[in-house]
Every structure is written in structure tokens, then in C-alpha cells.
Copies of this chain bind each other. A is one copy, B any other.
Amino acid sequence: MSQFTPEKSAAIRAEFPQLSETVSGHPLVYLDTAATSLRPRLAVDLESEFALRHTAAVNRGAHSLAAEATEAYDDARASIAAFVGARPNQLVFTSNATESINLIALAFQLASAVGSPARFSLATGDEIVVSEAEHHANLIPWQEVARQTGAVIRVAPITDGGELTAEAVKSVMSDRTRIVAFSAVSNVLGITNPVRAISDLGRGAGAIVVVDACQSAAHGHLDVESYGADFVVFSAHKMYGPTGIGALWGTTKILAEMPVVLTGGAMITRVDYDSSDYLPAPAKFEPGTPRLTQAIGWAESLRYVESIGVDAIAAHEEALGADLLAGVADIPNVRILGTADAVHRVGLVSFAVDGVHPHDVGQYLDSRGIAARVGHHCAQPLHKRLGVDSSTRFSLGMYSTSDDVALALAALADVRTFFGEG
């Protein structure tokens, strides 16, 4: 059940113009927030306004416009950092969570090639632990690290119900474990993993711990420190912010130890033809002209989220998610991926419809105005592990309503009949 009053929901929805679009002649029911969230008008407007009236080069030059842009950019970083419980200097802007993970992986590759710094140098036989439930973004970069360095990927098993336990992670760890990378919430299963316990295990063993927080950010209170990890990554476009920007959070210590990956202007102190000196984090990881308007837009989106209340949104999505889950579970011949009984879930459910391919399911839903995600959701190995090639996914956002859920369930109940399976 919605935790927002109808008036509250209406006010929130009014802030997201896309919700008044129609699809196939029906009002849009947007159930694909886990892929990318819709954008609140005030944040998009602020971003445009900035682009149209305050464009200037950041961190350069003395003219007032440039000074103002620099201030606005720094303020945006500070407020995004505050939203996730971080200090501004711990927050490195990237293009998306994928790039954030790649920066870490590349740091390992670059360091391993020269054997320094030691913390980021891997040797043949060193081990990288990931889970069976990872998004390709948190798997393939590690494969590349392994391929180059001779390190080995060790895959922590999930239960048949899709749960990842600290014990399972422990079962694949050894004294060669150097990296432990896993998601706070899988984008297919929606189950909240015991992040702190796994981080403690990893760091306790001296490994560098990387948490993919793409699906936990902006759907509940995110306090990066509380994850107990070395690195946490997330993307703006899944947090009501713009495309083209994401973040790499790291502890002050690990960011200081981490070698530079991308280099160029704005991250240096002194440059000669032969060599250069670099600024400390975050500048050290952000060469070139920054993602100025994107940072401004993202910060404003989060300000809007805060104005509604992170906890209120989490409660809303959780309650609605429970209805969605129960409703899908009730439809005959539909199989939910991952247990429906997990203690903590976000508002997200993936499922397989007997006898109907997800593409066809998605197309049918689309004809009724429902935007769902179909495919392998960038998690091919997880799908294989669960015995399917692909699935259909519903996911909720702050603007989702009981009506959305009801319409989606009603349409889903009709899918098999339409395809002559019913």
C-alpha cells in the first residue's frame, strides 16, 4: 500500500512531467526506475538555467563567471556527498557507476604492471571475490584485471532463493583474497545483502572491498561509511539525476593510496615535459573539464528527494513493493526470481512467465502503457544460475502508486491468455 496520501503522491507526480505522457494510448505506468529514474522538473530546470546563464570554465581563470561556476560545482559536490554521508573530498565524479568500478579495476591493472603501489598490485594466484548475482559492471572489469594480472575470480554462491550470505563469501575467501566486490542490492533480485558483514569479512582479511550501491542509493537512507567498505559506487541517473554522471566514493586513506588512472588538466600542480605532480583526491581522479551542469542537476534532484524525505520514500516503496511482490506471486504460472520471503527488499521484482518469452511479455505490457524492463538486465550469469536466459522486471520509484501496481498486475495476469498459453 502506498504510504503517501493521494495528495502527496499527486504532488510528487506533478513534479515528473514524463508521467503525463501516454504509451500505446494509455497513461504511462513507469516501472523501470531501477534501469533509470524519471527526472523531477525543478532539477532539470535548474540544470538548464545554469547551462543557459552560468556557463563558465570551472577551476580556471579569475573572471566572475568562472568563480561562480567553480563555487556552484563545489557546492554540488558537497551536497551530493552529504546525501550519502560522505565528505566532499571522498567523492570522485565519474560518468556512471560502471566507470567508477573501472577506475578501481584500472588502478589495479596499472599498479600491477609496475608492482607499485603494493596495495593495488596483484600477482598470479591472487584472488578477486565477486558474487553470483553481480551486474556485468561489477564482474567484467574484474575479469579484465584477472586476465592481465593472473589473479583468479572466485564466485561467492547465492542460495537458490538469491540470497548472498557472509558465510557464502567466506567460503570462497582465502589468504590470497585481495578484492571483494559485491552489490548492496542486486538489480535482478531486489534483495538487500548483508553489506556490513561482508565488508567486515573482506577488510578483516586485508582485501579491498568494493560495494556497488546502484540499487540502494536514493531508495533508502544511504550512509556510505556504514557499509564499512573501501569503495562505494553509484550512478546519478538511478537517483533522479542526469545521465553522464556517477560517483566513486572511497575512504580518505584508500583514495590517497590509489594511483591515478586518468590524467590531464585540472588535476596537477606542476607539469614538465617529462613528468608531473598531482593534486590530492578528488581532483587527482578528475582530469579535464568537469561534468558541471550534471553535478548541479544531480545535487538538485537529491535536494528534491530530501524535501520529500528519504525515509518516507523508502517506506513508500517498501510497502508498495510488498504489494507488487505478493501480487506477482499470486499470478499462476509466473515464477519470481529470488525468494519472495527475503527480510529486506527494495521495490523491485523480476519474474519469468511460463511459455511466454520476456520480450513478448514486455511488448504486451507496453501495449497497455506499462514500461517494464525485459532481458538479462546486464546479469547474464545470474540468469543462467537461476535457470533462465532472461526475465521481466518491475521496479518502483518515489512516484509509483498503488494504481501503477494494480495496472501492472492486471496486465500481467492477461499475458498468457494473449499468447494462447492461458
Q: Is A371 an interface residue (CB 8 A)?
A: yes
Q: Most B CB atoms within 10 A — which of A37, A97, A244, A375?
A: A244
Q: Which residue of B lies closest to A238 (CB)?
A: B289
Inter-subunit contact A17/B53 (CB<8 Å): yes
Q: Most B CB atoms within 10 A — which of A95, A98, A147, A370?
A: A95
Q: Whole-angstrom distance between the alpha carbons of A109 and B109 in the complex?
A: 9
Q: Which residue of B lies closest to A367 (CB)?
A: B64
Question: With A61-B32, A371-B56 as given contacts, are A243 and B292 in contact (CB-CB < 8 Å)?
Answer: yes
Q: Which residues of B contact A130 (CB under 8 A)?
A: 273
Inter-subunit contact B32/A136 (CB<8 Å): no
* Secondary structure dominating the interface of A: mixed
Q: Which residues of B contact A374 (CB under 8 A)?
A: 61-63
Q: Is A335 an interface residue (CB 8 A)?
A: no
Q: Is A381 an interface residue (CB 8 A)?
A: yes
Q: Which residue of B lies closest to A260 (CB)?
A: B144
Scan A110-123; emit 1 where CB is below 8 A from any B CB, else 0.
Answer: 10111000000000
Q: Is A162 an interface residue (CB 8 A)?
A: no
Q: Is A333 an interface residue (CB 8 A)?
A: no
Inter-subunit contact B288/A96 (CB<8 Å): yes
Cβ-neighbour of A44 out of B48, B98, B102 (below 8 A): B48
Q: Which residues of B contact A51 (CB under 8 A)?
A: 39, 44, 242
Q: Is A101 an interface residue (CB 8 A)?
A: yes
Number of residues in A with C-beta < 8 Å to the partner? 104
Known: A21-B53, A64-B371. 12 other contacts (CB 8 A): A18-B55, A32-B57, A38-B55, A44-B51, A51-B242, A61-B375, A63-B366, A66-B373, A99-B287, A130-B273, A140-B276, A244-B244
Q: Which residues of B contact A97 (CB under 8 A)?
A: 288
Q: Is A316 an interface residue (CB 8 A)?
A: no
**Which 6 pairs between the two chains have the least Cβ-Cβ distance?**
A98-B288, A265-B378, A137-B264, A35-B57, A98-B264, A244-B244
A interface residue numbers (CB < 8 A to B) = 17-18, 21, 23-24, 28, 30, 32, 35-39, 41, 44-45, 47-48, 51-57, 60-66, 95-99, 101-102, 105-106, 109-110, 112-114, 130, 132, 135-137, 139-141, 143-144, 147-148, 153, 155, 235, 237, 242-245, 260-266, 268, 270-276, 287-294, 359, 362-363, 365-366, 370-375, 377-378, 380-381
Say how far A399's CB is from chain B's closest CB, in angstroms. Answer: 12
Q: Whole-angstrom distance between the alpha carbons of A273 and B291 in the complex?
A: 33
Q: Which residue of B lies closest to A113 (CB)?
A: B113
Question: With A99-B288, A143-B275, A244-B95 as given contacts, are A148 and B264 in contact (CB-CB < 8 Å)?
Answer: no
Inter-subunit contact A274/B153 (CB<8 Å): yes
Inter-subunit contact A60/B44 (CB<8 Å): no
Question: With A271-B136, A271-B380, A293-B243 as given contacts, are A95 and B288 in contact (CB-CB < 8 Å)?
Answer: yes
Q: Which residues of B contact A276 (CB under 8 A)?
A: 136, 139-140, 143
Inter-subunit contact B114/A148 (CB<8 Å): yes
Q: Whole-angstrom distance between the alpha carbons of A137 and B17 in the complex?
A: 40
Q: Which residue of B lies closest to A152 (CB)?
A: B274
Cβ-neighbour of A268 out of B37, B140, B268 (below 8 A): B140
Q: Whole-angstrom distance between the alpha carbons of A47 and B44 in the complex?
A: 9
Inter-subunit contact B140/A264 (CB<8 Å): yes
Q: Whole-angstrom distance between the alpha carbons of A143 and B139 in the complex?
A: 30
Q: Which residues of B contact A366 (CB under 8 A)?
A: 62-64
